[in-house]
Amino acid sequence: MFGLVLLGLLVGFLVFLPILVVLVVARLALGLVLLPIRIAGGLAKLILGLLFGVLALLAAVLALVLVPLLPVLVLAGGVWIVLRLLRRRPVPA
């Protein structure tokens, strides 16, 4: 009886092992074929991340500089509008 179990295991491994080897080789080959695409995708993700990070940093710095200056800009704009309205223009002939 033990011999039959060993014979069954041997036959099972003779069927299972080549299928396993083929699957492992196919997975490795597919991984090697798709490796340049994965590298390009990683580089694109890195470049876009750095680009948007720098843009976000610039926007934050711009906001930190312009928000405190906003009251001064509003006052200067108001004075400019008032002075422009008070300026005399020559009458067209």
pLDDT (mean) for 56-72: 92
Q: Which domain holds residue 72?
A: 11-87
Please indicate whether residue 3 or residue 26 has the higher confidence score (pLDDT): 26
Buried b (16+ CB within 10 A) or exposed e, 77-88: eeeeeeeeeeee
Examine residue 15 and state whether it is found in any structural domain, yes or no: yes
Domain for residue 3, yes or no? no
What's the pTM? Answer: 0.53
Question: Is residue 36 situated within a structural domain?
Answer: yes
**Within a domain: 56:** yes
Number of domain units in the chain = 1
Q: Is 45 within a domain?
A: yes
Please indicate whether residue 26 or residue 7 has the higher confidence score (pLDDT): 26
The average pLDDT across 29-40 equals 95
Query: DSSP alpha helices (H): ranges in 1-93?
Result: 2-86
